[in-house]
Structure 1
Amino acid sequence: MNSRDPKPRYVPKDYEIVKYLGSGQTSHVYLANHARFGQLALKLPRPELHVRPVLRRMFENEVQITVSLNANRQHKHVIRAFEGFPTGEKAFLSTEYCSGGSLDELLYKKNLDFKSASRYIIEVARGLAYAHSRQVFHRDVKPANILLDHNGVVKLADFGTGIFMTERTTDRVGTAYYMAPEIFEGKQPSVQADIYSLGILAYEVLTNKRPF
């Protein structure tokens, strides 16, 4: 790794760090090898999370929800989780490594033809429908949270703002541009609110610009 890359304070047993990939709000992400799972992405919480409870809860959410969505069965268009531990100094999440980057990065590079754009939208919708069938609201559907594997297959990812449908909250979380109006008003998250976000994403993927 580069000397300026963030060094992990803890690496779970049987994982070997290959290189640093990048960072998000709540975690540093590394390419790693595992004795049984092979090459994967390893998310480790940022050190400052212990004094930032909101971000710490987001990381815990991501681990719990991503692992739960992969319990008993996986879905082709939801990021695959191998292992995770949500809390404490040994918290981590390991998922499949998506070498194709994000849909956001792809849109920055080029305009998509109608056939390709339609396929991406349909695959996001299928992943989201699966999450809903497993009683999960995503709450932040946007191109940056859609990853692509080495074959360009869509993977719905980044469930840090997600919640289980049994939870009650009026928190205004997510990305404002993709947020449904009722969420701004403090209403309870819903399937409809996620679909609103999907609609904004669909327009953006088809036209490479935002609707307003």
Structure 2
Amino acid sequence: MSLLNVSGLSLRYGSSQALFDINLSIDAGEVVALMGRNGMGKTTTVKAICRMLPSTGGLTFDGRDLQRLPSHKVARLGVGLVPEGRRCFRDLTVRENLLATARPGPWSLEEVASLFPRLGERSTQRAASLSGGEQQMLAIGRALMTNPRLLILDEATEGLAPIIRQEIWAAIARLKRETGMAILLIDKTLRELKQVSDRAVIVERGATVWSGAMGTLPHEVTERYVGV
């Protein structure tokens, strides 16, 4: 059984339908890339999985029906989200941001600092004083402190300096290599996605149009649906 299973997912914003037929699955320890052009439903799919938006269709996590749960209970089941736009608690210190979401498990302040040494060095600084890249590291660390079984990263490297992007991709590769955590990635950089992802799911206009092993993703499919 897949850890996360999404089947026939649909979602409406008032009279407008945003998702029509999203299908994807993630096994424990697997890294899946959710791909597609801007505005095609990737972030909306993530919000539906996390129950931040109401949807219809099959949506289960470790056999539990997520459609019956509010978002905070989905998080408690082990779904950790790094949302688009970082959204740190700006007036709290780095340490306070991390402790605010802490739940029992292997991820601790020390483990997060091992993954992102910058956060350890800046533990007493307010989040508002951090650079954009450091805030993104903090957002990832905060999600890890919930000790998730599935980590969702929505555009975690968008708009960051190349050296910071490299640090975050290295951290993702380390998470894949050293933990049994499943990861769902949304990003636009195909080269890096290919290096860490086991499978890819491509969405177009609110529907899944391709799914398979990352190594079998045809160039013509990426040209048509991803624009690379």
TM-score (norm 1): 0.26
Larger relative contact order, structure 1 or 2 (CA cutoff 8 Å, min sep 6): 2
TM-score (norm 2): 0.25
Greater share of residues in strand = 2
